[in-house]
Amino acid sequence: MSDAPVLPPAPPAPNPKPVIPPKPAAGNAVSQERRQFIFTWLGLAWTAFALATGTALSTVLRFMFPNVLFEPKTSFKAGRPDDYEIGKVDERWKEKYGVWIVRTLEGIYALSVVCTHLGCTPNWLEGEQKFKCPCHGSGFYKTGINFEGPAPRPLERLRISLADDGQVLVDKSKKFQQEKGEWNDPESFLTP
Ligand code: FES
């Protein structure tokens, strides 16, 4: 017989606890909302930044390429007085500058090709010795005086002078109206 002490039976092993996945903490939901909030504001901030940058860029581009308006010249040299035949309406500058030059025995004047009714361009009819507007039929004598149709006043004359080099110089920026007595102005008429 052995005298070894009899050990008490080992206690039963504790039942393994089931592993329960951690519940999402309430704080998680809050942080998710916060993240969404931050992303939204970040998106807005980037959009605003992009818009501001685009605006600034377009301003710089406009500065680099200014909106220059190329207007036709208001004055031009029209050759020598002798280039114009006495008694003739010269149409060589009609298309380019909108001017007729007329030479008479007394001198030379420049007429605007703009009809004083509603602004159409009349035609010079050599056979009838008159300017005739195709729009509403106004007629003007060679002098520019209106005599038929609805035009309320004569064609306008333009400043004319002799340049230093002896050429006829027409300045469209200065107009002379017959009904105001401006055709008496020495700048409205050139005496070569
Ligand atoms: Fe010349 Fe009317 S525009 S007659």
Q: Express each pLDDT in 66-117 by its tens digit.
A: 666 666 679 999 999 999 999 999 999 999 999 999 999 999 999 999 999 9
Q: What is the pLDDT of residue 45?
A: 79
Instruction: Name the pLDDT band for 36 (thresholds 50, 70, 90).
Output: confident
Instruction: Name the pLDDT band for 22 (thresholds 50, 70, 90).
Output: low
Evaluate whether 170 touches 110 at the Cβ level (below 8 Å): yes
Instruction: Name the pLDDT band for 14 (thresholds 50, 70, 90).
Output: low
Q: How far apart are CA 83 and CA 129, in angstroms?
A: 20
Q: What is the pLDDT of residue 37?
A: 66
**Statement: residue 7 has pLDDT above 80:** no
Site residues for ligand 1, CB cut-off 6 Å: 115, 117-120, 133, 135-138, 149-151
**Statement: residue 179 has pLDDT above 70:** yes
**Statement: residue 146 has pLDDT above 70:** yes
Q: What is the pLDDT of residue 29?
A: 62
Rounded to the nearest whole angstrom, what is the distance from the C-alpha of residue 140 to the centroid of ligand 1? Answer: 11
Average pLDDT, the chain: 86
**Statement: residue 1 has pLDDT above 50:** no
Q: What is the pLDDT of residue 2?
A: 47
Q: What is the pLDDT of residue 159?
A: 98
Instruction: Specify the ligand 1 atom closest to the Cα of 119.
Output: 3
Rounded to the nearest whole angstrom, what is the distance from the C-alpha of residue 69 to the centroid of ligand 1? Answer: 28
**Statement: residue 155 has pLDDT above 80:** yes
Q: Which residues in 135-169 are b (16+ Cβ under 10 Å) and which e?
A: eeebbbebebebeebebeebbbbbbbeeeeeebbb
Note the Cα 148 to chain centre separation in Å.
38
Q: How far apart are CA 183 and CA 118, in angstroms?
A: 22
pTM, rounded to two decimals: 0.65
User: Which residue's alpha carbon is nearest to atom 4 within ligand 1?
Assistant: 136
Q: What is the pLDDT of residue 50?
A: 79
Rounded to the nearest whole angstrom, what is the distance from the C-alpha of residue 102 to the centroid of ligand 1? Answer: 21
Evaluate whether 113 touches 96 at the Cβ level (below 8 Å): no
Q: What's domain 75-188's architecture?
A: 3-layer Sandwich (2.102)
Rounded to the nearest whole angstrom, what is the distance from the C-alpha of residue 43 to the centroid of ligand 1? Answer: 61
